[in-house]
Amino acid sequence: MPGVDRHIKHYRINQETGERTVNTDVNVFIVLNAIAYVVNLCLIFTVGAFGSVSSTTRVLTYNFQSMMNTSEVFFQLAWGIIMPWQAFWVVWQIVKPEARNCGGVVQAAYFYPFGTVLFAGYTISVRAGQMILGTVFIWGLCGVFIGLAMSMQRYRPKNLVEYLIWQGPLTLEASWIMIETCLMTNVVFVRLDEMWYIKFIIGSVSILTLFITAISWLSSYPVDFIPPFVIMCAIGGVFLQMDNDSHYTNLLRQDFPNDWLTGWKYAVLAIFILILCAFIIKVVIVLISQRPKALAEQRQEKKDRVSVQITINQPPTPTSPKKKKVSRNSDYDDYDDYDDYDDYDEERPPRRGSNNRRGSNSRSNNDYDDYDSPPSTPRTPKKKKKSVNSREFESPRRSPRKSSSSRKSDSPRKSPRKSQTKSPKKKKRSSTREYDDYE
């Protein structure tokens, strides 16, 4: 539609002034998240963990016991933390205008509303006894919430407080949905009354999948510690449930060998210890190496970004007309010596046969011939101007001038026997006579 911005942005930039302001408009994500939370809350207290009609948790933990069973307390504890935390998440993005269009809302997008629809299908199917259909819904729900957790993980410009506001409640639900997915998968084979070794294989694959998921989550950076921590606690709950006499007896009735159950119990304990050790090692690595290195890179990136912004946003220096005039005349700086063309023309003697000067005679013509440069020598006004006042004018090497002076041998002033050094008086008179001829 024309005039509608399809991209939700945290900041708005005025195209005329360049001013950046925070976008505080209510977007579609906020509305859908609020509606989805209300629906999710109703499901939890009707057919969910705290269901007053029928509890899916009670059905999974007591009616269809499998090797992946854990105590009902873990379900209630998990959902007891998830729901209040998500309530804060929903309220915060409504009452905080600056946070309505931030990355914590945009990255969540439609994951949470769509996940609520799948959660409704899952809980209602279990309540109706449709375990296979419930398994399909729970697998879809698991994929949606893993995608939600990964999307929030890409929302990296956040500190610990922002993590607790935006990513924590969603990642916690995603982690517990993984546990319920593995439990629901084992319940299906219990419901179908399969052979004990098939149920044992399914249980082993489930516990191995959770172990790989926890290690994979710990191997990434930036790391989210909630999924591996929840998985570790759930595996610990499975180990504790194996010590429950009622649960152990129920597995024996399903034809599980005692030795296999004992081996399963200690295998679960070993996996719990491995995840715990990996968790502690990852915490130490993050605090000692990865976190300081990431902070240093962020500071350096911020400095580079600020320097680039200063260079780009610097307004161009206005060029004054005077500077333009100087730059235009700078191309002709070599010709500044030729500004007085009129003075040079007055000082330059006329060529031979020139009649446009008064008082010209044969002697002056002969003298003017002395100033004619050879054809091979380029005539430049500057050199010509210097040659008039140079000593070469009076040098005896100038044969025409000397011959003219020698013809007047009776004159004492032009005697060839005299020294080449000209007296100041003679030099002054000679220069005066020459300039009179130029006039």
Q: Where are the domains of the chain?
A: 11-311
For residue 213, what pLDDT is reported? 93
11 beta partners: 22
**Is the confidence at residue 4, as pLDDT, over 50?**
no
- Work out the number of other CB atoms within 10 angstroms of the CB of residue 170: 25
> By the 8 A CB rule, do 64 and 191 touch?
yes
Q: State yes or no: cis peptide before 222, omega within 30 of 0.
A: yes
**Is the confidence at residue 62, as pLDDT, over 90?**
no
Higher pLDDT residue, 369 or 235?
235
Instruction: Name the least confident of 64-73, 280-289, 392-401.
Output: 392-401
SS3 11: strand
12 beta partners: 21
Mean pLDDT of 398-408: 47
HSE of 202 in the Cβ direction (CA atoms, 13 Å)? 20
| Among 177, 206, 163, residue whose Cα is nearest residue 67 | 206
Give the confidence band of 424 by pLDDT, cuts at 50, 70, 90.
low
Higher pLDDT residue, 72 or 321?
72
What percent of the chain clears pLDDT 90, i.e. is strictly above it?
A: 34
Instruction: Name the least confident of 139-143, 230-234, 295-299, 414-418.
Output: 414-418
What percent of the chain clears pLDDT 70, i.e. is strictly above it?
A: 65
For residue 328, what pLDDT is reported? 46
**Is the confidence at residue 233, as pLDDT, over 80?**
yes
Higher pLDDT residue, 377 or 256?
256
**Is the confidence at residue 286, as pLDDT, over 60?**
yes
Mean pLDDT of 329-334: 47
Bridging pattern class, strands 20-22 and 11-13: antiparallel
For residue 48, what pLDDT is reported? 82
Alpha helices per DSSP H over 163-257: 168-191, 196-218, 226-242, 245-253
DSSP string, 100-161: TTSHHHHTTTTHHHHHHHHHHHHHHHHHTT-HHHHHHHHHHHHHHHHHHHHHHHT--S--HH
Q: Residue length, the chain?
A: 439
> By the 8 A CB rule, do 56 and 127 touch?
yes
Positive or negative, the CA dihedral 71, 76, 81, 85 is: positive
**Is the confidence at residue 329, as pLDDT, over 80?**
no
SS3 13: strand
**Is the confidence at residue 338, as pLDDT, over 80?**
no
Instruction: Name the least confident of 302-316, 357-371, 373-387.
Output: 357-371
Q: Can you tell me the distance from the alpha carbon of 48 to that of 97, in angstroms, rounded to the nearest whole number?
A: 33
For residue 137, what pLDDT is reported? 95
Residue-wise pLDDT for 8-56, tens only, equals 676 667 666 767 777 788 888 999 999 999 999 999 988 888 877 777 8
For the chain, how big is the Rg over CA atoms in Å? 50
Mean pLDDT of 100-108: 84
SS3 186: helix
Mean pLDDT of 396-408: 47
> By the 8 A CB rule, do 222 and 157 touch?
no
Catalogue the long-range contacts made by 13-20 (C-beta closer than 8 Å, 24 or more residues apart). none
Three-class DSSP labels, 293-314 = HHHHHHHHHHHHHHHHHHHHHC
For residue 207, what pLDDT is reported? 94
Residue with tokens 């024309």: 2
In whole numbers, what is the pLDDT of the chain averaged over residues?
75
Mean pLDDT of 241-248: 87
For residue 276, what pLDDT is reported? 95
Alpha helices per DSSP H over 316-423: 321-329, 341-347, 362-369, 381-389, 399-407
Burial of 126 (0-12, 13-18, 19+ CB in 10 A): buried
Mean pLDDT of 136-152: 91
Mean pLDDT of 202-220: 92
Mean pLDDT of 82-88: 94
- Encoding tokens for residue 435? 């300039």
> By the 8 A CB rule, do 149 and 227 touch?
yes
For residue 246, what pLDDT is reported? 86
